[in-house]
Amino acid sequence: MTTNNSRLKVGYMTYLNSEVFYRKLPIGSCDLVAMSPRTMAEAVERGRLAAGPLPTAAVIRLGAQVRSLGNLGVASDGAAMSVLLFSHVPVDQLCGKRIAITSHTVTSVQLLRVLFADLWRVSCHRFVETTDGHDAVLWIGDHALTRRDSSEYKYRYDLGDAWKNLTGLPFVFAKWVVGTEIPKLEADRFEQKLIQATSDGLHSIDEIIEARTIRHMSDSDIAEYVQNFTYFLGSEERAGEREFERRLNSLPEWRQQKPGLELGIDEPT
Q: What is the pLDDT along the chain (269 residues), one digit of tens a residue?
A: 554 457 999 999 999 999 999 999 999 999 999 998 889 999 999 999 999 999 999 999 999 999 999 999 999 999 999 999 999 999 999 999 999 998 888 899 999 999 999 999 999 999 999 999 999 999 999 999 999 888 899 999 999 999 999 999 999 999 999 999 999 999 999 999 999 999 999 999 999 999 988 888 999 999 999 999 999 999 999 999 999 999 999 999 887 665 443 455 554 33
pLDDT of residue 148: 85
Comparing CA positions, the residue from 160, 174, 196 lying closest to residue 66 is: 174
Q: Distances from the Cα of 196 to the Cαs of 13, 20, 48, 106, 175, in angstroms? A: 18, 11, 25, 28, 16
pLDDT of residue 191: 97
Task: Report yes or no: 50 and 10 within 8 Å, Cβ to Cβ.
Answer: yes
pLDDT of residue 105: 85
pLDDT of residue 88: 97
Comparing CA positions, the residue from 68, 21, 36 lying closest to residue 176 is: 68
Task: Report yes or no: 35 and 13 within 8 Å, Cβ to Cβ.
Answer: yes
Quickly count: other Cβ atoms within 10 Å of residue 14's Cβ.
15
pLDDT of residue 150: 84
Residues, the chain: 269
Model's pTM, two decimal places? 0.91
Q: Distances from the Cα of 190 to the Cαs of 23, 30, 186, 197, in angstroms? A: 15, 8, 7, 10
pLDDT of residue 15: 92
pLDDT of residue 214: 86
Cα-based torsion angle of the residue sequence 237, 239, 241, 245 in order, rounded to the nearest 10 degrees: -170
pLDDT of residue 258: 55
pLDDT of residue 5: 54
pLDDT of residue 1: 59
